């Protein structure tokens, strides 16, 4: 299980989550639409969820159905081949 960043982050990318993550699990840069969480690094501490002003972060099992695809989008972000 890991936390997942969903649709409300799009166009926000405030990076509050990035600043509090103790595991270096959050990525995303200026040309990405949103920030993402690496499920292999996330230690489920919940600090990012508390810090997010947009309500964009959920435990995977709590993801609203409409945003279910974001679990895959977060995972795949960290498995992209290097460009």
Question: Which residues lie near ligand SF4 (CB under 6 A)?
Answer: 3, 5, 9, 12-17, 20-21, 23, 25-26, 35, 37, 42-48, 51-52, 54, 56-57
Give which of 15, 59, 20 is closest to 35, Cα–Cα: 15
* Smallest distance, ligand SF4 to C-beta of residue 60, A: 11
Q: At closest approach, how far in Å is the CB of 46 from ligand SF4?
A: 5
Nearer to ligand SF4, 11 or 83 (CB): 11
Task: Give CA–CA dist 8/53, Å, rounded.
Answer: 10
d(CA 36, CA 10): 10
- For the chain, the distance separating the N- and C-terminal CA atoms, rounded to the nearest angstrom, is 28
Token readout for 43 is: 């230690």
Shortest distance (Å) from residue 82 CB to ligand SF4: 22
């Amino acid at each position: 299980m890991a936390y997942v960043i969903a649709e409300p982050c799009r166009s926000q990318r405030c990076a509050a989550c990035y600043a509090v993550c103790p595991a270096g699990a959050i990525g995303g840069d200026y040309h990405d639409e949103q920030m993402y969480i690496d499920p292999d690094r996330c230690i489920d501490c919940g600090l990012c969820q508390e810090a997010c002003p947009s309500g964009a972060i959920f435990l995977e099992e709590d993801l609203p159905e409409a945003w279910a695809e974001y679990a895959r989008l977060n995972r795949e972000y960290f498995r992209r081949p290097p460009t």
